[in-house]
Chain A
Amino acid sequence: MRKLFLALATGLLLAGSVSAASAADKLKVGFIYLGPIGDLGWTYQHDLARQALVKELGDKIETTYLENVPEGPDAERSIEQLVRAGNKLIFTTSFGYMDPTLKVAKKYPNVHFEHATGYKRNPNMSTYSAKWWQGRYIQGLIAAKMSKSGVLGYIGSFPIPEVVSGINATMLAAQTINPGIKVKIIWANTWFDPGKEADAAKALIDQGADVIMQHTDSPAAMQIASERGKLAFGQDSEMIKFGPKTQLTSILDTWGPYYIERVKAELAGTWKSEDSWGGLDSHMFAMAPYTNMPDEVKKMAEDAQAAITAGKLHPFKCPIVGQDGKPVECKGGDHLDDGQILGMNFYVKGIDDKLPGK
């Protein structure tokens, strides 16, 4: 019985792949999105990049996306559905797709995969991410200059290294301006939940924070800060229309150039499995215009941005002192190395909070 099943399944698989191959004259590129494309944050930016890709290479490729794919048991199926529909290069755009992407990648060695923000790779599976902590450093400088109360409010999503390194970069920058600066952190335990994000912003403002920063994806916190007359930073997208008098700047995810580059490589047959971790210098992200601040603060931010882009300023320059008062080992010469930042699991000195799960 089992053999019969196996034979049937193999036959059907073969039949499927033959028909898919004969239909393909354009390269099919697939995308898996975490949220709806209208989330005005994370997924929206990925879709903008997909649109840029279509604009650039539309005559040679065809793109397909699946939106709102949860990071659970369904993800593997959704990715495999894209493979079976003939997509040869597939971008899975959230961390939680890591294991499902790897499973499907091992099953289909001739299809190439690009997984955002993860750390597991395969000969046919690349990873890509951005050094957002560089942008967070600039935000930390601005926040410390602009805060009157000396208390920053930070809405975290999950206590994972990407978010923790952002908090640390913010604080290290802020401390260069105001050594006594405080940060209040609320973990929303979600990437996208406007209600929770708004509640977090209200709670932070009630605790005295007058500059709100977020590592969650919706513009809800910006709206609350705007209502209460405070200042805030956007996230992922340009959020100025939600707080014309509120937004200081925003870290903009600009995946377009990377997607175009990888698809060109695929078309040329030169695609290789790589780990791309780009910063300001490689345009993996950008800073929205510096607004709602005096010219001198704006100049300071622009100078810092230029210095980071040129490689003259490293946000995690040693010595770095951990929360326990002990200096952190400096593996990258005069700054922390990429591995230490990728796996960051500690707070720097001056953060008056406990890292969850520590």
Chain B
Amino acid sequence: MQLVLEKRAERSGTIALVSPLLAIGLTIVTMVILFAILGKNPLLALHAYFIAPLTDGYSLQEIAVKATPLVMIAIGLSLCYLANAWNIGAEGQFLIGAVAGSWIAVRTQGTDAGAWVLPAMLVLAAAAGALYALIPAICKVKFGASEILTSLMLVYVADLFLDYLVRGPWRDPHGFNFPTTAEFDPVATVPLLIEGGRLHLGSIIALLVVAAAAILLARTIKGFEIRVVGAAPRAARFGGFNANQLIILTFAVSGALAGLAGIIEVAGPVGHLQPGISPGYGFTAIIVAFLGRLNPVGILIAGLFLALTFIGGEQAQIAMKIPLDVTKVFQGILLFYVLACDSLILYRFKLVSSNRQVPRGAG
């Protein structure tokens, strides 16, 4: 007898719903075993990871702060991915948005410029992110260049450009030559929602973005076009939908959202422009987009969940001296199970008797 994976005749709707829960369940079982091997009480550890951060206002705020850029970027990426356009360079668009918005903050520093500064920064950041994302999109449409490679490579360009600015022309003159701009003025700072906390206006903007994306995909013709072009390119061509135009559009939107997330992060939690403003948000957001099954509400949940693992991982480090590496293992295991369980949507296990000839190397 042999266990083989067999393609289902049609995708299983039940499994599609159950699969994330199954993945989380399997992750928890694996983690319990791992904690036990490490000699930590598994129940206390799971409590530190998943329950403790949800029980106080401070941690809830921090989860929202951490999830904000992830969700905003992932929403944009999901539109690209649905339309079969592979934007891997959100990290670069995030950085370029941060740079463009910071330009206004740096130029108006100390001039008491007025309330227009922050809105202008947000708009410019989104525009810059969109333009930056258009480079790979246009190269793809005009020359057939792989957008995966070009968008990824532009991440490093953005990174070095930011680096140059904060080490050179924008460096804080009173900063002992350290690579950072001066702290932004209050008019160039994203307002906090709770006094003394870190929750900021950006989280509200992220929620609005989620709502807008949900409406776009479910209720508009453009949203329908995006889904059809991705799912059934031939049908889309017969329907007269222009795939190239959609690549341009979804890249621009996802670039704009990444750029917006960038300036919100810089003008919010960080407070100035410096290298290392993103601990890989643009890449983590790819995971968030797929964990949320490219669905706006799913992405919101996935973003919050991933943020929870970061905050919980930190609390587990403090409360139970569980090394950070375990948190990373945990995130890796989760992804592994999500992908593994997803294969059950399209495939199923089947037992076959071993005397049946199974073609080797095929399938």
Contact = CB atoms under 8 A, between A and B. Distances in A.
Contacts of A309: none
Ranked nearest first, the 4 interchain pairs of A and B with the lowest CB-CB distance are: A12-B57, A73-B269, A357-B167, A9-B57
Nearest to B272: A99
A66 B265 contact: no
Contact of B276 (A68, A82, A96, A345): A96
Given A12-B58, A84-B58, A356-B167, A64 B179 contact: no
Interface of A: 2, 5-6, 8-9, 11-13, 15-16, 30, 36, 64-68, 70-74, 76-78, 80-82, 84-85, 95-96, 99, 107, 119, 158-161, 164, 189, 342-345, 356-357
A76 to B, nearest CB: 7
A73 B66 CA distance: 9
A73 B183 CA distance: 14
A175 to B, nearest CB: 23
Contacts of A2: 193-194
Given A72-B279, A77-B198, A357-B167, A64 B177 contact: no
Interface stretch (B85-93, B132-140, B317-325): B317-325
B65 interface: yes
A80 B315 CA distance: 11
B176 A119 contact: yes
B10 interface: no
Contact of A161 (B61, B177, B277): B177
A5 B177 contact: no
Which range contains the number of B residues in contact with the other chain? 35 or more
A72 B266 CA distance: 10
Interface of B: 56-58, 61-62, 65-66, 163, 167-168, 171, 176-179, 183, 193-198, 265, 269-272, 274, 276-279, 310-311, 314-315, 317-319, 321, 323-325
Contact of B270 (A11, A66, A73): A73
B198 A76 contact: yes
A160 B193 contact: no
21 contacts: A2-B194, A9-B194, A11-B57, A12-B56, A13-B57, A64-B317, A66-B314, A72-B270, A72-B274, A72-B279, A73-B277, A77-B66, A80-B58, A96-B276, A99-B183, A99-B272, A160-B179, A161-B177, A189-B163, A344-B177, A357-B168
A73 B178 contact: no
Contacts of B265: 73
A77 B65 contact: yes
